[in-house]
Structure 1
Amino acid sequence: MTDKSPGRRKESMADRVYEALKADIFEFRLIPGDRFSEGDIGGRLQASRTPVREALYRLQREGYVDVLFRSGWQVRPLDFQQVADLYDLRITLERAAVEKLCQLPEPPPTLRTLTAIWNPDHPSERAVGSTVRALDESFHCDLVAAAGNREMTRIHREITERLRIIRRLDFTRDDRIDATYEEHAEILDALRRGEASHAADLLASHIRSSQDAVKEITMERIREAAEYQRQQTTAAEE
Structure 2
Amino acid sequence: MVYEQLKRDVADFKLVPGDRFTENELSERLGVSRTPVRQALFRLQQEGYVEVLFRNGWRVLPFDFERFEQLYDLRMVLETTAVQRLCTDETKIDRALLDQIAAIWLVPVAERSTDIRQVAQWDEDFHCSLVAAAGNAEMTRVHRDVTERIRIIRRLDFTKQARIDATYEEHAKILRAIQRKRSDPAMMLLRAHIQTSQSEVRKITLHQVHLARAA
On whether the aligned pair clears a TM of 0.5, the verdict is yes
Match of 1:157 in 2: 144
- Assess if the C-alpha contact under 8 Å between 1:36 and 1:72 holds in 2: yes
Q: CA deviation at 1:114?
A: 1.5
Instruction: Give the Cα separation in 1 of the matches to 2:193 and 2:122.
Output: 15
Please state whether the residue corresponding to 1:66 is helix, strand or coil.
Answer: strand
Query: Is 1:81 aligned with 2:84?
Result: no
Please state whether the residue corresponding to 1:29 is helix, strand or coil.
Answer: coil
Query: Is 1:225 aligned with 2:184?
Result: no
Farther off after superposition, 156-165 or 66-75 = 66-75
Match of 1:67 in 2: 52
Instruction: Give the Cα separation in 1 of the matches to 2:175 and 2:10.
Output: 34
- Residue 30 (structure 1) aligned to one of 15, 21, 37: 15
- Residue 158 (structure 2) aligned to one of 161, 168, 171: 171
- Alignment CA distance shift 1:109-1:52 (3 Å): closer
Please state whether the residue corresponding to 2:15 is helix, strand or coil.
Answer: coil
Match of 2:168 in 1: 181
Instruction: Give the Cα separation in 2 of the matches to 1:20 and 1:163.
Output: 17
Instruction: Give the Cα separation in 1 of the matches to 2:37 and 2:71.
Output: 30
- Assess if the C-alpha contact under 8 Å between 1:33 and 1:76 holds in 2: yes
- Assess if the C-alpha contact under 8 Å between 1:63 and 1:76 holds in 2: yes
Matched positions, count: 213
- Residue 200 (structure 2) aligned to one of 213, 231, 234: 213
Please state whether the residue corresponding to 2:58 is helix, strand or coil.
Answer: strand
Please state whether the residue corresponding to 1:137 is helix, strand or coil.
Answer: helix
Farther off after superposition, 22-31 or 118-127 = 118-127
Query: Is 1:45 aligned with 2:15?
Result: no
Farther off after superposition, 146-155 or 110-119 = 110-119
Match of 2:77 in 1: 92
What root-mean-square deviation, in Å, do the aligned CA atoms of Structure 1 and Structure 2 show? 1.7
- Residue 127 (structure 2) aligned to one of 93, 115, 140: 140
Please state whether the residue corresponding to 1:154 is helix, strand or coil.
Answer: helix
- Assess if the C-alpha contact under 8 Å between 1:144 and 1:153 holds in 2: yes
Farther off after superposition, 42-51 or 158-167 = 42-51
Instruction: Give the Cα separation in 1 of the matches to 2:4 and 2:152.
Output: 14
Instruction: Give the Cα separation in 2 of the matches to 1:90 and 1:51.
Output: 32
Q: CA deviation at 1:127?
A: 4.9
Match of 1:131 in 2: 118
Instruction: Give the Cα separation in 2 of the matches to 1:140 and 1:103.
Output: 18
Instruction: Give the Cα separation in 2 of the matches to 1:128 and 1:162.
Output: 23
- Length-normalised TM-score, structure 2: 0.92
CA displacement, residues 160-212 of structure 1 (integer Å, 9 cap, x when unaligned) = 11100100100111111011000000000100110011100100000000000
Instruction: Give the Cα separation in 2 of the matches to 1:20 and 1:149.
Output: 33
Farther off after superposition, 146-155 or 50-59 = 50-59
Please state whether the residue corresponding to 2:190 is helix, strand or coil.
Answer: helix
Instruction: Give the Cα separation in 2 of the matches to 1:89 and 1:125.
Output: 30
- Alignment CA distance shift 1:56-1:102 (3 Å): same
Gaps of 5+ in 1: 1-14, 229-238
Farther off after superposition, 85-94 or 181-190 = 85-94
Greater length-normalized contact order (CA 8 Å, ≥ 6 residues apart): 2
Query: Is 1:55 aligned with 2:40?
Result: yes
